[in-house]
Copies of this chain bind each other. A is one copy, B any other.
C-alpha cells in the first residue's frame, strides 16, 4: 500500500465520517464544503480518485458520490478514528445496572440489553466459560427411584444441578460418603483440572477394585459431562437492526436472524475475539460469514483475575458510529469484569 498523503487521509476521514452520519454517497462538492479545507471540488476529485485506485472508496454507480470500502473503513478505524471519551453518567448507569448481586447469566443478559439500548444496535455477550473456575463443592441427594440429584457449586455466584439416572438406589448417607470423598479430592481445584484428573483416577480405582470410590468418581464424571453446557451467548436488541436502511432487505435479515438462532457461527466468530486483548473489530466481509457481510462486529473480552471468561460486543451495520461504539464496548467489558469479580 503506497503511503497516503496527509490530505488524502484527512479527506478519507471526512468522507467516512460524513457517510456514517448521512448514509448517502458523498460527492466532491459536498466534501469540499464539509471538510473545511479550502479546496475546490475538482481538486478533491483528484484526491478521491487516488483513494479509489487504492481500493479505499468506491462509488455505487457512475454518477454517485463515493462510499468507503471495507478497506477504507479498516484504515479509518485503525488510524484515523478519534475515539470520544465516554460520559461519566453513562458509565455510572452501567455500573449501577451491573452492580446487582446476581448470577453470571443474569449479568450477561443485563449487559447485552445495555449495549443494545445505548447503541441502538444488537448487543451480544457470551456466557462466561467456567473451565478455570474453582470447584467449590459437590453434593449428591437421593431423589427418587434410581435418580440422584447432583449439585455442583462452582463459586458463590454459580450453582449447577443435574439429575443422574443410576442403576440402583442409593441412600442419603451413602451419597454423603461419595460427596465428601470427592470434595476432599477436588474441592478448590479448577474445573478442567478436575475433569482431567477424574479420567486418570477412574482408571486407577477401577484397577484397584475400590467399588465405593469408583462409583463416586463415575457420578462426578457424569455430572461434569452434563454440566458442560457448551458455550452460549445472549443477544439483545436484534430488532434494532431492522431500523437500518442498508439491512432492510428481508433476505438479508432472514440470514442474519437465522445465524442468531443457529448460534454456531456467531459463537465461532466470538471465540476468535477471546485471543485478542482489548477491542476487536470485524468490518463487513472480514468476518468471513456471508450473513454478516453488511455488518460490523465490535467486541471486547471480559475477564476475572486475568482469566478471560468471555466476550461481549455490538453487532450493527458497517456504517456505524465506531468512535462511539468502541468506547462503549470497551467500558462495558471492564464494568462486567468488575461485576463478576468476587467482591469480598
Contacts and interface: CB of A to CB of B under 8 A. Distances in A.
A144 B163 contact: no
A228 to B, nearest CB: 15
Interface in A136-160: 136-137, 139, 141, 143-145, 147, 149, 151, 153, 156-157, 159
A305 interface: no
Interface stretch (A66-74, A201-209, A247-255): A247-255
Given A159-B161, A261-B239, A141 B139 contact: yes
A239 B258 CA distance: 6
A239 B251 CA distance: 10
A105 to B, nearest CB: 12
Contact of A101 (B103, B139, B156, B165): B165
Interface residues of A, number: 32
A3 interface: no
Given A159-B163, A163-B159, A344-B145, A238 B261 contact: yes
Judged by DSSP, the binding face of A is mixed
A212 interface: no
Contact of A144 (B151, B156, B242): B156
A242 B139 CA distance: 47
A323 to B, nearest CB: 27
A144 B141 CA distance: 20
Nearest to A145: B344
Contacts of A236: 261
Contacts of A289: none
Contacts of A243: 254
B149 A151 contact: yes
Interface string A124-144: 000000000000110101011
A101 B166 CA distance: 13
Given A147-B156, A151-B161, A253-B253, 17 more contacts: A101-B165, A136-B143, A137-B141, A141-B151, A143-B153, A145-B344, A149-B153, A149-B159, A151-B151, A156-B163, A161-B161, A239-B257, A239-B258, A242-B253, A242-B254, A242-B257, A243-B254
The 9 closest A-B pairs by CB, nearest first: A242-B254, A248-B250, A239-B257, A239-B258, A144-B156, A159-B161, A239-B254, A242-B250, A161-B161
16 contacts: A141-B151, A141-B153, A144-B156, A149-B151, A149-B153, A151-B151, A157-B163, A159-B163, A238-B261, A239-B261, A242-B254, A242-B257, A243-B254, A250-B250, A250-B253, A253-B253
